[in-house]
Amino acid sequence: MSLLRSAVAAIGLLLVAVQPVAADEILIRFAHVVGERTPKGEGATLFKTLVEQRLAGRVRVEVYPRSIKFNDNQVLLALLLGDAEMAAPSLAKFRTYTKKLQIFDLPFLFKDMEALHRFQASPPGRALLDSMEERGIKGLAYWDNGPRVISANQPLRRPEDARGLTFRIEPSSVFHAQWSRIGVNTFPMAFKQVYDAVREGLVKGQENAWSNIYSRKLHTVHRYFTEVGHTYLGYMVVTSSNFWNSLPPDIRTELENILAEVTAEVRRLAQEKAIANRREIAESGQVTVMTLNEAERDVWRQALMPVWKEFEAEIGKDLIDAAVASNQ
Ligand code: SIN
């Protein structure tokens, strides 16, 4: 009897062992550096939800927000090493993989989000998604955040107000050159470190989109915010070419469809949060938000725009012209 029970138990174990289990599932680890309630954070969560609904049992997504797995400067290597499958770094963070994407860092390039979207959807904008293919990185989509605003504990209405301050910047050569033009020192650092660096006075200024400022509570450590309107914070959703090419074609197509849907939702959320988070910060009573008039903005334009010339050779004049044309 006990022999029979053992045999049944053994068969049971065998059956469990040969079930088609999670090992057959494709795992996508999506790592990013911001909070879950930001446009990118919500986009990554929606991507997970839709993938696990529509590709149930075939693809599973794990989302790692707030740099819990990788910083932006680590994640591209992680994609190449197979330690993550997807990420969406800011467009300012790809310079070791291509110089072309520096185009998105140029100040005062796009007159509004519609112009930016027109360029991203144009053939030269689409081609940029493939600009890192020879380095093994594939661009899948552009996601929005919003206009970058600058902040400090003193009002920054004119470029000379910032002279001598140290700004935390994303690791962009364009940002470094642009701020150096007006006498600002720059300190590139990971997003995760910005709050402490500002609070401890290691940096006196910073620039970011409203949703990042709000979610990281930067308005509790800086008092003056200026809407210069010089650049937008946006992202490229990326994967490794090896991973992407290894996927069954039907799964790839479904993932592309889902990404298109999520991209549209991220755009909507980005617009909504840029307005709502700005309002919450402005109404917190802790800060002053300064909006510039056209003449004041023009002073910043004159001060920062000459940096375009410094990067024309690396980015390509044709590409810059195509971006400018999207403003019409
Ligand atoms: C992000 O929005 O992904 C972070 C941008 C930054 O590093 O400031």
For residue 21, pLDDT beyond 70 = no
For residue 242, pLDDT beyond 80 = yes
The pLDDT-based confidence of 241 (bands split at 50, 70, 90) is very high
pLDDT confidence of residue 6: 46
Region 236-260: mean pLDDT is 98
Q: How far, in Å, is the centroid of ligand 1 from the Cα of 10?
A: 53
Domain total of the chain: 1
What mean pLDDT value characterizes the chain?
Answer: 94
Please report, for the domain that includes residue 37, its CATH number.
Answer: 3.40.190.170
Structural domain range at position 239: 23-325
% pLDDT > 90, the chain: 92
Does residue 3 lie in a domain region? no
Please state, as a whole number, how many other Cβ atoms lie within 10 Å of the Cβ of residue 17.
8
Q: How far, in Å, is the centroid of ligand 1 from the Cα of 294?
A: 27
Region 29-44: mean pLDDT is 98
The pLDDT-based confidence of 11 (bands split at 50, 70, 90) is very low
% pLDDT > 70, the chain: 93
The pLDDT-based confidence of 22 (bands split at 50, 70, 90) is low
pLDDT confidence of residue 73: 86
The pLDDT-based confidence of 219 (bands split at 50, 70, 90) is very high
Residues in the ligand 1 pocket, defined by CB under 6 Å: 33-34, 90, 145, 170, 191, 208, 212, 233
Does residue 2 lie in a domain region? no
Does residue 149 lie in a domain region? yes
Does residue 280 lie in a domain region? yes
Does residue 17 lie in a domain region? no
pLDDT digits (tens, 9 = 90+) for 144-203: 999 999 999 999 999 999 999 999 999 999 999 999 999 999 999 999 999 999 999 999
pLDDT digits (tens, 9 = 90+) for 43-98: 999 999 999 999 999 999 999 999 999 998 899 999 999 999 999 999 999 999 99
| Ligand 1 probe mutation, 32, 68, 86, 212, most atoms within 8 A of CB | 212
Does residue 6 lie in a domain region? no
pLDDT digits (tens, 9 = 90+) for 253-300: 999 999 999 999 999 999 999 999 999 999 999 899 999 999 999 999
Q: How far, in Å, is the centroid of ligand 1 from the Cα of 301?
A: 23
For residue 7, pLDDT beyond 50 = no
Does residue 294 lie in a domain region? yes
Q: How far, in Å, is the centroid of ligand 1 from the Cα of 84?
A: 18
pLDDT confidence of residue 72: 85
> Would you state the structure tokens that stand for residue 37, as one six-digit string?
């309630």
Question: Out of 6-20, 216-230, 290-304, which region has the weakest mean confidence (pLDDT)?
Answer: 6-20
For residue 128, pLDDT beyond 90 = yes
Does residue 12 lie in a domain region? no
The DSSP bridge partners found for residue 139 are 238
**Which atom of ligand 1 is nearest to 190's Cα?**
7
Name the residue at shortest CA distance from atom 4 of ligand 1. 191
For residue 324, pLDDT beyond 60 = yes
Name the residue at shortest CA distance from atom 8 of ligand 1. 191
Q: What pTM, to 2 d.p., does this model score?
A: 0.92
For residue 210, pLDDT beyond 60 = yes
pLDDT confidence of residue 38: 98
Q: How far, in Å, is the centroid of ligand 1 from the Cα of 189?
A: 10
